[in-house]
Amino acid sequence: MKVLITYFSNTGNTEKIAKSFKDALSDKDVELKPISEVEPSSLINFDLVFLGSGIYASRVNKALVELVNAAPELPQNFVFFSTHASLVGYQDGFKLVKRKLGHTSNIIAEFDCCGDNIGIPEETRNSMLDKLPPEKRKEAEKHQQWLKGRPNEEDLKKAKEFARSVVEKR
């Protein structure tokens, strides 16, 4: 089985997850590439594509839709993965990609985890905190602390377990 793991990652969080998937599948025929390096016509050569992105303004990066749009033929099976700063994942983040895939391909599994918001400068984050009422601010500060360094070792372990479980089922 040929597997492609490809991703858009602005600050490296989603890339860490992608690399963990690759580590977990070291005994398989796996290619790992940032999405900018993927030739759309090559997608069809893979039995399974792990497609991932950070979440930006509630959506995955447009490079994902562009890749799927540009592919003359689509592979049968996709796995979506994402990282986000919020506590909960964004089911709608992949909406446009899902729409494009339609009934041509199956989305066989999805993985998401938290990723530290290092793409927004600390001063900007602090000025956002300043605008909150005291109770909300306390909560947001606590969340920021909790998010530091994510994805962490525990997240990467979960990512590896996820990748193995997906591939073992095929």
Ligand X SMILES: Cc1cc2nc3c(=O)[nH]c(=O)nc-3n(C[C@H](O)[C@H](O)[C@H](O)COP(=O)(O)O)c2cc1C
CA distance linking residue 4 with residue 43, whole number of Å = 8
Q: Which of residues 125-164 bind ligand X (CB under 6 A)?
A: none
Is the Cβ of residue 63 or residue 74 nearer to ligand X in the bound state? 63
Shortest reach from residue 2's CB to ligand X, in Å: 24
Is 1 a residue that touches ligand X (CB under 6 A)? no
Shortest reach from residue 44's CB to ligand X, in Å: 26
Is 77 a residue that touches ligand X (CB under 6 A)? no
Q: Which of residues 8-47 bind ligand X (CB under 6 A)?
A: 9-15
Contact window for ligand X (CB under 6 A) among 34-42, 68-76, 81-89, 135-143: 81-89
Q: Which of residues 52-71 bind ligand X (CB under 6 A)?
A: 54-58
User: Residues 24, 49, 85, 166: which binds ligand X (CB under 6 A)?
Assistant: 85
Residues that bind ligand X (CB under 6 A): 9-15, 54-58, 83-86, 115-117, 119-120
